[in-house]
Structure 1
Amino acid sequence: MPSSSPSFPPQPPAGSSAAARPSSVPGDLPPLADGTAVLYVNLGTPEAPTAPAVRRYLAEFLSDPRVIEIPRALWLPLLHGVILRVRPAKSAAKYATVWMADGSPLKVWTVRQASLMQDALRAAGHDVPVLPAMRYGQPALLDQLESLKARGLRRLLVVTAYPQYSGTTTASVSDTVYQWAQRQRAVPEIRLVRSFHDDPAYIEALARQVERHWESHGRPDQLVMSFHGLPARNVQLGDPYQQECGVTASLLAQRLGLDDTRYRMTFQSRFGRAKWLQPYTEPTLIELARQGVRHVQVVCPGFPADCIETLEEINQEVRAAYMQAGGGNFSYIPGLNDSPAGIEALAAVALRQLDGWR
């Protein structure tokens, strides 16, 4: 949109609740060239590897009814009375082992991916801003939406960092975006990428990442594809997550030329006592070690950006469990992060939607 055009949508009058919300929009940001923007949304992360910061993050994350589907009257007293008193210090210690010079790995890589996506889209003919956002934590999704609104937002593409759809992740982002839209006088046109679990560019990027690892570490006896876990009840109620993880694993194995005996799909990051999707990652690695499998590698196709679940849980906890059970050679295959193929894949996902707005 030209700089001489009026603000769109119009700003709320002084004194309204929207006007009272603190703005994170720098005053020198230019208006959107044609009213179009992309939000690249990831889950979220604490701002520091400390108990208070982790407590704030977990309070927001675990209060989302899309994440914890337990009646509020039962869950919230447990969350605030027990979990938020015990878990933050333990989690902060784990975050501290993977914290980067510029901050949380997930935030560092997400911001980097958004910037590189913007460059790739510009090279493809779409001069649109790509803003990083977090569903929980900073930069907050709602703040980024307000920032774009102030710059003249008319068309919004939301790309989530969740290749496989789940009601606990993608749907939560969708809820937030459309609840924000309900409060707007002039609602922008909104497109949200539901998933890209079977996208050819995404599968190719994963395969290249694995093959690059093989060049320096050799091929393993077993390649374990570990996805984030989900309560089994969610799938029984209709969540397609497990099915989409299976499709990703199958397509990646086909691309790598692996038969069913050379790889297996597992699920990590269990929480609580409920039954989650199986087989579980750590027990699977322990069993492989006991069976005499001497060389295993783990890749996490559901995490485009490395984070505590990959760097600490897999590369530290699961590695240690495998070695203690008598395992031999263990290595974690890094996430896509800022790899050229990974950025190309994310840009390809966005381009299919943006080209309709050309």
Structure 2
Amino acid sequence: MKKIGIILSNLGTPDSPTPQAVARYLWQFLTDPRVVDLPRWRWLPLLKWIILPRRAKRIAKTYQSVWQAEGSPLLAITRRQQAALQQYLENQGLDCIVEIGMTYGNPSMASAVQNLIEKQTDEIIVLPLYPQYSSTTTGAALDSFTAVLKNHRAIPPFKFIHSYHLDENYIQALAESIKVRFKSDEFLLFSFHGIPLRYEENGDYYREHCKQTVLAVVDQLGLSENQWGLSFQSRFGREEWLQPYTDQEMKNITARQGVQKIALICPGFAADCLETLEEIEQENRALFLQHGGTEFQYIPALNADKSHIEMLAKLILNEVRER
């Protein structure tokens, strides 16, 4: 039986909730041309001397508000996903090793690949934990993986999972997680991480993947058009990003649509992190309640739920069977 190496890849996280660690992480993240494609001569001095000194301290404080004993929420949850997926696949009779390879920060993609090569895996499957493709996330993960391969002569055969935004098990898992929490008098808002509109105009089809996911879930739930919406969060800088913006929806939706109670879910996040636990659960909750809303609930990411682990495992097993 072949030994399969599996890399769970996500964005990444600082090593600690300190300004120094956050600055190191943000430098790696924001110097990636996939993320910020401005001319290097203009962007790098601005990032180093103005943006990082200001943002690192502020973001460190927000990380401190959600940091756990095991580290950042993203890393702690990804480790639980790693352990659960390893156990599930072994129970299915697969000889495998599951590693974590973050695009930025640690555990790094380089360490994941090195570990799998040292353990003499026969094949590698890279699973970016981004259901919807974007050049800024999935594309960056692919860049990270292939950059590591440049340092190795003996490269095992590998498979890179592009996206799973319409995978039936993913849609079912989302729908079930909503069903057990959603109340009939709530408005359901699907919030995805945003990207600059310019990236879409240059060919990134992320928004279409987001729409397709939402429509599939809405169909499963049997919701009418006035029961749900779609928005984009986490914009940065002055240029236009994908709209509508989640924070603006929190300010306007009560006056515009009479929404008093809202349930918000972030289907693009495979694990809860700063953008969901602080930005959504704290900041956007406060905005909604300050602007006329009466009840707000955040529906957690799928995290290490059984249905999520089974779905991820089936993605892996499908790739193994194809070989």
Do residues 231 (structure 1) and 196 (structure 2) align?
yes
The corresponding residue for 2:223 is 258
1:338-349 pair list within 5 angstroms: 338-349=304-315
Per the normalisation by structure 2, the TM-score is 0.97
Report the AA paired with residue 281 of structure 2: N
Note the residue ranges of structure 2 that are not aligned, 5 or more in a row.
none
Looking at structure 2, the residues matched to 187 and 45 of structure 1 have their Cα atoms a distance apart, in angstroms, of 27
Do residues 130 (structure 1) and 104 (structure 2) align?
no
The corresponding residue for 1:185 is 153
Looking at structure 2, the residues matched to 128 and 75 of structure 1 have their Cα atoms a distance apart, in angstroms, of 42
Looking at structure 2, the residues matched to 103 and 283 of structure 1 have their Cα atoms a distance apart, in angstroms, of 31
Looking at structure 2, the residues matched to 270 and 105 of structure 1 have their Cα atoms a distance apart, in angstroms, of 21
Root mean square deviation, CA, Å: 1.2
Looking at structure 1, the residues matched to 268 and 281 of structure 2 have their Cα atoms a distance apart, in angstroms, of 16
The Cα shift of 1:220 comes to 4.1
Report the AA paired with residue 82 of structure 1: I
Do residues 36 (structure 1) and 4 (structure 2) align?
yes
Looking at structure 1, the residues matched to 234 and 308 of structure 2 have their Cα atoms a distance apart, in angstroms, of 24
Do residues 102 (structure 1) and 70 (structure 2) align?
yes
Query: CA-to-partner distance for each residue in 1:69-91, whole Å, 9 max, x for gaps?
Result: 11111110111011111101100
Do residues 70 (structure 1) and 38 (structure 2) align?
yes
Report the AA paired with residue 250 of structure 2: L
Which has the greater radius of gyration? 1
The Cα shift of 1:143 comes to 1.2
Looking at structure 1, the residues matched to 100 and 83 of structure 2 have their Cα atoms a distance apart, in angstroms, of 8
The corresponding residue for 1:331 is 297
Report the AA paired with residue 312 of structure 1: E
Q: Which residue of 267, 284, 296 maps to 1:301?
A: 267
Tell me how many residue pairs correspond in the alignment.
322
The corresponding residue for 1:174 is 142
Is contact 2:264–2:297 with CA below 8 Å preserved after alignment? yes
1:15-164 pair list within 5 angstroms: 34-164=2-132
Looking at structure 1, the residues matched to 95 and 158 of structure 2 have their Cα atoms a distance apart, in angstroms, of 18
Note the residue ranges of structure 1 that are not aligned, 5 or more in a row.
1-32
Looking at structure 1, the residues matched to 66 and 164 of structure 2 have their Cα atoms a distance apart, in angstroms, of 28
Looking at structure 2, the residues matched to 221 and 84 of structure 1 have their Cα atoms a distance apart, in angstroms, of 39
Looking at structure 2, the residues matched to 148 and 106 of structure 1 have their Cα atoms a distance apart, in angstroms, of 22
The Cα shift of 1:150 comes to 1.4
Looking at structure 2, the residues matched to 183 and 141 of structure 1 have their Cα atoms a distance apart, in angstroms, of 12
The Cα shift of 1:153 comes to 3.1
Q: Which residue of 264, 279, 289 maps to 2:244?
A: 279
Is contact 1:40–1:133 with CA below 8 Å preserved after alignment? yes
Report the AA paired with residue 353 of structure 1: E
The Cα shift of 1:103 comes to 1.2
Looking at structure 2, the residues matched to 319 and 176 of structure 1 have their Cα atoms a distance apart, in angstroms, of 35
Do residues 221 (structure 1) and 179 (structure 2) align?
no
SS of residue paired to 1:168: coil
SS of residue paired to 2:226: coil
Looking at structure 1, the residues matched to 105 and 74 of structure 2 have their Cα atoms a distance apart, in angstroms, of 12
Is contact 1:207–1:252 with CA below 8 Å preserved after alignment? yes
Looking at structure 1, the residues matched to 155 and 306 of structure 2 have their Cα atoms a distance apart, in angstroms, of 35
The Cα shift of 1:34 comes to 3.2
Per the normalisation by structure 1, the TM-score is 0.88
Is contact 1:289–1:328 with CA below 8 Å preserved after alignment? no
Looking at structure 1, the residues matched to 46 and 241 of structure 2 have their Cα atoms a distance apart, in angstroms, of 20
The Cα shift of 1:53 comes to 1.1
The corresponding residue for 1:244 is 209
